[in-house]
Structure 1
Amino acid sequence: MSLVEVTDLTVEFGSLRAVDGLSFRLAEGAALALVGESGSGKSTVAGALLGLHRGTGARVGGSVHVAGTDVQQASDGELRRLRGAKAAMVFQDPLSSLDPYYAIGDQIAEVYRVHTRASRRAARARAVEVLERVGIPDARRRSRSRPHEFSGGMRQRALIAMALACEPDLLIADEPTTALDVTVQAQILDLLHTLREETGMGLLLVTHDVGVAAESVDEVLVMRHGKAVEHGPVGTVLGAPAQAYTRELLGAVPRVDAPRAAVAEASDEVVLEATGLRREFGRGRTAFTAVDDISLTVRRGETLGIVGESGSGKTTLGRMLVGLLPPTAGGIRYDGRPHTGVNPAVQMVFQDPVSSLNPRRSVGESIADPLRARGEHDERIRGRVLELLERVGLEAAHYDRYPHEFSGGQRQRVGIARALAADPRVIVCDEPVSALDVTTQAQVVALLGELQRELGLALVFIAHDLAVVRQVSDRIAVMRRGQVVESGPVDEVYDTPREPYTKQLLAAVPALDPELAAQRRAARRELAVA
């Protein structure tokens, strides 16, 4: 008997058909990945398995059976019993799924009590048990912590613990590793694999990252425009794809072992130099050093890649280079002269364009801000903004639209246009493609490269995705705990890393070959035991 059986599923939102005649099965204990670009319908399918579209105005057709429940015909009570008890979901953003006011353990205990009617004491004990199971250290004490006191990886583990509380037959994981660095991502994927082995639960993984699918599942279903493009064993689909779209999707995936792509011709002219940068937060016993004695140079026309795990100090360093954070010690020189504060010639493209764009202002007005700040006349501003919109691949008609009307890739193009408005010589890109699917990611990377070649820009490219960094960078600096532990030409550092930490980062990058992924997982497991 199938754990999940979906037949001719359609989901419509108004005139938009998000899922169009999709059918698939998932056997008990098996793992299937839904893979595709943003907007392909993956998350809509995941929501349909739990009846999450009920009451939203969406029109759902076809049939969906999950763990013996006919989701389409089930009553509200039957759906409540299905969710959490038989099938549980782990969402992409744990902060939006966890209540900031309550301790993690209390939230897990509440889920357990709802489905089992257990006592408070038993529910708290169960919360500690599942937190230990997902690898939270000192689980009894940490169960009393609130979400903001956990790192991103620990919050994701807490969500998985909540999903496991009632021992479901099916775990639905919707982009569970998108915002995580490579080592934490590897830990979460290893955890999901181990839990499948130990519990026999089935896994439906929703992801735009083909490498994550190779690490985690038995079968892959490639989606596009709400339809199935290709479906089969993971080794076959990723190793010998039959469909052109699947080949295109795989071709857009950056490879950590691939030769560096052609980049702009760098000069010997140093445009930005940092010497002995240090940044502390807090005072006294609570003082924390985020960046500790870092020196670096950035030359005209080159790209300096900066990689490291979350918490390594990458973003703090980038904000100091732009002038958004004053250093506690050390200094910055621009064009050979000391500089403090914000420098219009050094701009930043942020990780999350949604939070960096004012939702109440049109994107054209946001792009115009740097022009107004330097005193440009109003009659020239609109024309310059229209030029910039077209320069980054958008349309002049987009001037009066608002951020929510754009896709993630389009919003990132708006962020790049705003940075270009100040006519910078250096752009610091802080995780500019981390939340984008591989094809959109490739388009944004290509745009940055094109702008760099045309304008002679220097780029500082901060990212946790080592494959993307290799693709775009001339030189690389590897950060750990606020310090640069290794640096040099990108091919040299990637091909012959000296530091164990650099080797560890490279070993955690997902492999597209399922057999290699299994070997790496076994090696990580042996290392953890040792």
Structure 2
Amino acid sequence: MSQVNSSVEGSMDVLVEVTDLTVGFGSLRAVDGLSFRLEKGAALGLVGESGSGKSTVASALLGLHRGTGADVGGSVRVAGIDVQEASDADLHRLRGGKAAMVFQDPLSSLDPYYAIGDQIAEVYRVHTRVSRRAARARAVEVLDRVGIPDALRRSRSRPHEFSGGMRQRALIAMALACEPDLLIADEPTTALDVTVQAQILDLLHTLREETGLGLLLVTHDVGVAAESVDEILVMRHGRAVEHGPVDTVLGAPTEPYTRDLLGAVPRVDVPRAPSEASSAAQEVVLEATGLRREFGRGKRAFAAVDDVSLTIHRGETLGIVGESGSGKTTLGRMLVGLLKPTAGEIKPGGGVRPDVQMVFQDPVSSLNPRRSVGESIADPLRARGERDEESIRGRVRELLERVGLEGAHYDRYPHEFSGGQRQRVGIARALAAEPRVIVCDEPVSALDVTTQAQVVALLGELQRELGLALVFVAHDLAVVRQVSDRVAVMRRGRIVEQGPADEVYDAPQDPYTKQLLAAVPALDPQVAARRRAARRELATT
């Protein structure tokens, strides 16, 4: 009898039970025989690269594939509801009531025309049928709960009046309005700066502690998972590769793929391998003095970059790190010549024209979808005056092969390539002009960690072979340390700290640099817990 009672009690604690889940889209099997359980109050991280099937699993928990033509098999039970067999009315009650989802891009999830508070109140009224006044009061209550300052006033604001971090908090508030048992967070911090990311992860942890809700965290970032969950399920090609307690999976992974995934994660505490030559002994290829760039006019004018001076040497990488609004991208565009400085000057070292090129963050938007990648790469060659089409085509093929693609890819279009391959095309186009300096503006921020590692390795290889100077602009401190000889930290248009990478990272002097480094996710869950406790203590003092 005791065994039966124990079994019944255990099943009552199960919030999510997935058994042999399959999801197919035509001939594509996105999820293939996946099984897992999530207890009440627990947190499970679904970790994997793009195409692993993790977001498809998250959607299946809420029955979002119904009516899409997807072929869904297996069993999915959430909060006692059989999602496969549930009626439309039951699914309606499940979504937002028993289980709620927070998506990656809050702008696409929020209506730009309506106040944040009204949108939350509407969700609450759909599930509770309370008065408008009570719903608005609930909206203010949950906005305050997720840390929106002056919640009553800000509840009247529209999405564009919120920062990225505040919009994500508003989505979490909307999810919490009906007090769900399960929160599904699909890449909730991908587009956020490191300090804002830490705040959102801390918020999710606090909500779990105080409300007992279960958390399913979908992420490609292993560090984010280490900060947030009790167990990790590593996915690849729709299947579970490894599943277990977060300490075990991250500390002693048993599967080669998991080890490869962890090995590709850049570490903020691991210095870059020493460069072959000392920066001090190298020639200056580009020098910027007193750069300032203003936007707007009159009283509305503001300086995005304010009195910035830099020296860039041949063969070195200068990392420029900072959060959104720090001015790092504006600085990079001035170095390339896409923006003219309001004040200050940029001059080549030794009087030699530096030929500065740029690799952009989003290769999709920087490549013309109606032109073959070969034609895009050929543009700098033609701009330089080359007219022999056979010679141009041969040079483009060489460049494609140089960045790890095939010469035969000349006639393919951007949509036929993966994200990492498109970034390689962008690098090939930059190389076509034979530059001495390449400015890389967030070149790997949209890529999975293994693809990210491949692109970083390619840039390093090209740098060594061609003597290129790289200016690596990024908000990811771990990536910047991995690639940089020297680092400049920007905040509100100014450089607050600058020096050799090891000195800046190991012995930061400016409080802002220390704050950034303290917010970087740690792969060790125990270290992550200590950092979270320190941030909580700092917030209450």
TM more than 0.5: yes
Is the contact between residue 346 and residue 425 of structure 1 (CA under 8 Å) also seen in structure 2?
A: yes
- Secondary structure of the equivalent of 2:90? helix
Greater displacement, 326-335 / 351-360: 351-360
- Give 1:94-243 correspondences, 5 Å limit: 94-243=106-255
Structure 2 counterpart of 1:369, one-letter code? D
Q: 1:263: Cα distance to partner?
A: 4.1
- Give 1:29-428 correspondences, 5 Å limit: 29-263=41-275, 265=277, 266=279, 268-337=282-351, 345-377=355-387, 378-428=389-439
Cα distance in 2 for residues equivalent to 1:145 and 1:50: 29
Aligned counterpart, 2:506: 495
Matched residues, number: 526
Aligned: 1:441 with 2:452: yes
Q: 1:254 to 1:75 in 2, by over 3 A?
A: same
Is the contact between residue 215 and residue 517 of structure 1 (CA under 8 Å) also seen in structure 2?
A: yes
Q: Which residue of 24, 32, 35 maps to 1:12?
A: 24
Cα distance in 1 for residues equivalent to 2:176 and 2:336: 44
Q: 1:14: Cα distance to partner?
A: 1.8
Q: Deviations over 1:266-323 (max 9, x none)?
A: 5521111111011111122222221110000111110000111221111111111111
Q: 1:398: Cα distance to partner?
A: 2.9
Which ranges of structure 1 fall in alignment gaps of 5 or more residues? none
Is the contact between residue 34 and residue 220 of structure 1 (CA under 8 Å) also seen in structure 2?
A: yes
Cα distance in 2 for residues equivalent to 1:460 and 1:443: 18
Cα distance in 1 for residues equivalent to 2:359 and 2:111: 30
Q: Deviations over 1:91-128 (max 9, x none)?
A: 11222222222222222222222222232222222222
Q: 1:180: Cα distance to partner?
A: 1.5
- Secondary structure of the equivalent of 1:255? coil
Q: 1:338: Cα distance to partner?
A: 10
Q: 1:521: Cα distance to partner?
A: 0.2
Q: 1:264: Cα distance to partner?
A: 5.6
Is the contact between residue 431 and residue 461 of structure 1 (CA under 8 Å) also seen in structure 2?
A: yes
Structure 1 counterpart of 2:376, one-letter code? S
- Secondary structure of the equivalent of 1:442? helix
Cα distance in 1 for residues equivalent to 2:434 and 2:479: 25
Q: 1:193 to 1:330 in 2, by over 3 A?
A: same
- Secondary structure of the equivalent of 1:295? strand
Q: Deviations over 1:17-65 (max 9, x none)?
A: 1111100000011100011122111111111111122222221111111
Q: 1:427 to 1:88 in 2, by over 3 A?
A: same
Greater displacement, 428-437 / 300-309: 428-437
Q: 1:155 to 1:398 in 2, by over 3 A?
A: farther
Aligned counterpart, 2:525: 514
Structure 1 counterpart of 2:357, one-letter code? Q
Q: 1:387 to 1:338 in 2, by over 3 A?
A: closer
Cα distance in 2 for residues equivalent to 1:110 and 1:397: 54
Is the contact between residue 305 and residue 477 of structure 1 (CA under 8 Å) also seen in structure 2?
A: yes
- Secondary structure of the equivalent of 2:420? helix
TM-score norm. by structure 2 comes to: 0.94
Across the aligned residues of Structure 1 and Structure 2, the Cα RMSD in angstroms comes to 1.7
Q: Compare CA radii of gyration and give the structure with the larger one.
A: 2
Is the contact between residue 178 and residue 434 of structure 1 (CA under 8 Å) also seen in structure 2?
A: no
Identity across the alignment (%): 87
Cα distance in 1 for residues equivalent to 2:408 and 2:148: 50
Q: 1:204: Cα distance to partner?
A: 0.5
Cα distance in 2 for residues equivalent to 1:500 and 1:181: 17
Cα distance in 2 for residues equivalent to 1:361 and 1:82: 46
Q: 1:335: Cα distance to partner?
A: 3.3
Is the contact between residue 263 and residue 472 of structure 1 (CA under 8 Å) also seen in structure 2?
A: no
Cα distance in 1 for residues equivalent to 2:160 and 2:402: 39
Q: 1:171 to 1:384 in 2, by over 3 A?
A: same
Aligned counterpart, 2:3: none
Which ranges of structure 2 fall in alignment gaps of 5 or more residues? 1-11
